[in-house]
Structure 1
């Protein structure tokens, strides 16, 4: 599984964040590794670096072998919260898709 992290110019600590996200997603999505080909994470600050409520956005696209991509998104005033909420959503989406394929 390839994990690709993209950030806009207003997200700080890109290298550390990239490493954190890669490790987190490898751990949390490990059981889907046989089905996932790539996961793209897009982080943005909707207010251009100014503080604001729910201005940090995390979009995730998970590409499963032989299937259409699955998308999840979350917003929060903290980047880490947006990442974790979107990760939970994408996990549920992957589980739902795999359950449908099995059944």
Structure 2
């Protein structure tokens, strides 16, 4: 799974932030393995001047094989908390979406081949006497 971290000019991007995001994403949705090909994480502080209003924003978009992208949003006072909460939301959204997809595939009609009782020598049904 590829994880891309994007920030706007209100967030200082550094190695520790990238590692934190990757850790949260892996722990939240790592169990989906090969089904999730890429996760794009966008971080910003929508109200840079006002620190106590929950302006730290995290958006996560998961690209899922054979399914539409799944997007979650989270606002919080602390950036790390918004990342953690968004990871939890993304896990629940993937559980729901992939669960529906699995149920849909599980309940799809399956063609059942039924052999008829035919006498190979006479091409008559054995039940026809």
Relative to the length of structure 2, the TM-score reads: 0.74
Structure 2: runs of 5+ lacking an equivalent: 104-129
After superposition, the Cα gap between the structure-2 partners of 1:11 and 1:49, relative to the gap in structure 1 and judged at 3 Å, is farther
2-side partners of 1:49 and 1:14: how far apart?
Answer: 21
Contact map agreement 1:11 1:49 (CA 8 A) in 2: no
Q: What is the count of residue pairs matched by the alignment? A: 103
Tell me how far 1:28 sits from its aligned partner: 2.4
Relative contact order (alpha carbons < 8 A, sep ≥ 6): 1 or 2 greater? 1
1-side partners of 2:80 and 2:61: how far apart?
Answer: 17
For the pair shown, the structure with the greater C-alpha radius of gyration is 2
Aligned pairs for 1:5-20 within 5 A: 5-20=5-20
Relative to the length of structure 1, the TM-score reads: 0.92
Tell me how far 1:48 sits from its aligned partner: 2.8
Structure 1: runs of 5+ lacking an equivalent: none
Which residue is equivalent to 2:84? 84
Q: Pairwise CA RMSD of aligned residues? A: 1.3
Which residue is equivalent to 2:39? 39
Q: Does 1:97 align with 2:102?
A: no
Matched position secondary structure for 2:41: strand
